[in-house]
Every structure is written in C-alpha cells, then in structure tokens.
Structure 1
C-alpha cells in the first residue's frame, strides 16, 4: 500500500557561492509549497535549476532559509541525519542512471531496501514486483552493462520507487533516451504523482514540461511559479 506524501516546502531558501573577491547568487530567496503531483522545473542551462534540486535533496547547504519535508527542516539534521532522512523519504532519478555496475538489475533495485535493513525475502519480492511493473522481469539478473539505456533508466526508476518515497526528485531523467524510452520513463514517474506523491522534475524539454501538473521557471537564480 502506498504511503501518503509529505509536504515539501521551502522558506526563503537561497544559495550564494564565493567567487574571487565577491560572490555569485545561484538561488535568490525562494518560498514555495510544492503541491502533490508532478512539478516541472524549467529554465536555461546555468539558471539555477540544479542548485535548487541539490538544496531540496540536502546534497548542498543553503546560505539561508529552510527546506522542510513533513515539517522537518532537513538542513538541521547534520550530514548523517540527512542521509538517513533521504533513505526513508526520498527517491532519485538522474540523467545518467547511476546504477551500481557490479550489481544485477534486481540487486540495484534492492539496494535501498538493504541499506534500510529490510529482510532479504521481502526486498527480493518488492524488487521483483517493481521490475515486473516496469516490464523488466526477464532482465532482472542482467548487469547494467548488458541493458540498453532505456532499460537501465527504467531500473533506476524502479530503484527510486522501491522504498515508496514521499518525495521523488528527477534531474533530466529522459535527457539521454530516445523518444520511446523517454515516454516510458515519464509514464513511470507520473504514477506516484497521480497517487499524491510530490515529484519534482528538472527538464529542458517543453514536451516533458507540458505533462506536469505544476511549473516553476528558473532564470538567473530567480524562481517563479507559472501556475
């Protein structure tokens, strides 16, 4: 059974990087409540999209403000605390699938569950069910090097979903895929959004952005909601 989503919010979130004798504002103060569903983050290269995603994930430290998930300010948790929080509540899909090369497709999907201490039988069953759901049950024991780019990205999506995360962050998840494979991956990402989870997707593709329920545009570190 799917667990309910947790509210993702930012409050005056900002990021400033030192640069020579001065500084660069990569993200101006940004306050927003992410509604359940799929939010597309669009904007030109270098606009601040990845900075925003890294802050939402807790991979980077803000210069000011807060990121709250279910009322918890993730940047007060410390590095180990954030890692544990991500394991419990986040899923990630990147432009490159980032699968572990020496693990099979099924073992890659199981990996977050292993880190969470889920018993072997249960994690095998959950991984098999998700691989079947993404149409890869017959590729379960193949290494990433023996999968096509589209297949590997579908495994990555299954891995992101296996812990039933409240928040799913995707950074150009279809950027390296052909049109058909990209459509399959997008369909998989819209399922948790339709189930009431918060899915935040960075994309440069207007056709991908058009499928989203909500839209944020980033330019020169300024973030604006478009709906």
Structure 2
C-alpha cells in the first residue's frame, strides 16, 4: 500500500491544441486544490472535462502550468516516470470498464499488483478481498464476456482500488449503467472518498454530481468551483 500523500492540485494548468492555422483552447489557466473526498466535474460535451482529467492523470501534456501530487510535479517526470507514479498512486475507472478480455475477473484485479511487483500470494489475497468488497467473490473466475455491465464495472473499480491509490479518477463510470446498478457503483466510489482519498469524477448526471463533496463546472475550457448541494450524499 502507498503512503498517504497531501493531495492533488493544479497551478495555472492549461491546454491549447493546434487547429488548422490557429489554435483551440481546451483548458484555460486553472489553479485549484482538490480536497479529500469526491469532486464531481460537470459540464456539456466538448467543454474541457476530459482534457482536464487527462492532464490530471499525466496522459496529456499541459501547454502551461502543472499538476502536483504531494510534492511531485507530475509533468516534470519522464513518460516512464509518470507511468510508475500512476501505478503507485492513481486508480482509474472508465465509462467502458476496459477489462483485459483474456483475463478472469480476479486476474484483472491482480494485474496492476503484478506490474507493481507484489508477490503472487499477496496479490491473490488482495484481489479476492477486493472482489468480495464489491460483491463479486463468486464471479472471480469469470471472464469479462461472462459478466454483466454492472459486474464488469465493479471489477474495474476493484482493479482501480488494488494499489490503495491516493487519487482515483473516474470518467462517467455510471454512464452505461441502469439507475440501480449506477447507484451501487457510485456507493463503491464514495467509500474511498469517505476514507479520505481524492476522487475526481466526470459525470453528466446531476443526481450523481449531487452526491459529491465538491463540484467543478467546466464550460468552454473555463473551470469554476461551486458549492455541492447539501444533504444529498
């Protein structure tokens, strides 16, 4: 497990893309400290939400500013260094679960632990415990094609939590699920938030956003913090 890190923040973070003879500003300079708990990122399609998430993850390179996790400037690292840092400190949940098709549910959860060099017995035990935590201990040997959408998303969440990440990034994790299953996945995402982890969640669903502790609204590349509705969580 990783040692606690003092949060995630951006300092003047921006992203500009070339477009024909000009440029497109996908994210305007943005300075923000993400507090422990869940932050919902909301806004219309094309507003800059995914650009922000990709920059926070280190998948994309900023045009200006930086992303800092603890005392580490994410974009001062090499590409390999960022990959190692993500493995140690980040977890990811996507709208499409992105499970490895040729691995069982348990093997998918074990996969990041294997990459991190965790001994086989320890990673098996942790994977089993996480699958039990998401209610899928009896589906451990099933392949992704044998799982429902909700089950696959819960396996993806277990995989994201395998390394005990300090930062959990989720991109529309309930977007392809029915209301009941989406609520179950959201409750599982809220657990690390309540435990003091930093969870950043992109969502189009106002009911999902209302469950978050903090809200960021993105429009035309501008990011503004706003109070989350009280009493919904």
TM-score by length of 2: 0.96
Q: Is the 8 A contact 1:5 1:196 kept in 2?
A: no
Q: How far is 1:48 from its partner?
A: 0.1
Q: Which residue of structure 2 aligns with residue 121 of structure 1?
A: 121
Q: How far is 1:4 from its partner?
A: 3.0
Q: Which residue of structure 1 aligns with residue 214 of structure 2?
A: 214
Q: Which residue of structure 2 aligns with residue 56 of structure 1?
A: 56
Q: How far is 1:2 from its partner?
A: 8.2
Distance across 2 between alignment mates of 1:199 and 1:104: 26
Q: How far is 1:222 from its partner?
A: 0.1
Q: Is the 8 A contact 2:2 2:163 kept in 1?
A: no
- Return 5+ residue gaps in structure 2 as ranges: 228-233
Q: Which residue of structure 2 aligns with residue 21 of structure 1?
A: 21
The 3-state SS of whatever aligns with 1:174 is: coil
The 3-state SS of whatever aligns with 1:153 is: helix
Q: How far is 1:78 from its partner?
A: 1.1
Structure 1 residues 77-226: aligned runs within 5 Å: 77-226=77-226
Q: How far is 1:6 from its partner?
A: 3.4
The 3-state SS of whatever aligns with 2:17 is: strand
Q: Which residue of structure 2 aligns with residue 42 of structure 1?
A: 42
The 3-state SS of whatever aligns with 1:61 is: coil
Q: Is the 8 A contact 1:5 1:167 kept in 2?
A: no
Q: How far is 1:102 from its partner?
A: 0.2
The 3-state SS of whatever aligns with 2:13 is: strand
The 3-state SS of whatever aligns with 1:192 is: helix
| Superposed CA offset, 1:90-122 (max 9, x none) | 000000000000000000000000000000000
Q: How far is 1:214 from its partner?
A: 0.2
Q: Is the 8 A contact 2:39 2:216 kept in 1?
A: yes
TM-score by length of 1: 0.98
| Superposed CA offset, 1:162-193 (max 9, x none) | 10000000000000001111011100100000
Distance across 1 between alignment mates of 2:33 and 2:88: 21
Q: Is the 8 A contact 2:5 2:69 kept in 1?
A: no
- Return 5+ residue gaps in structure 1 as ranges: none
Q: Is the 8 A contact 1:203 1:209 kept in 2?
A: yes
Alpha-carbon distance change, 2 to 76 in structure 1, aligned in 2, over 3 angstroms:
closer
After superposing on structure 2, the runs of 4+ consecutive aligned residues of structure 1 that deviate more than 4 Å are: none
Q: Is the 8 A contact 1:5 1:198 kept in 2?
A: no
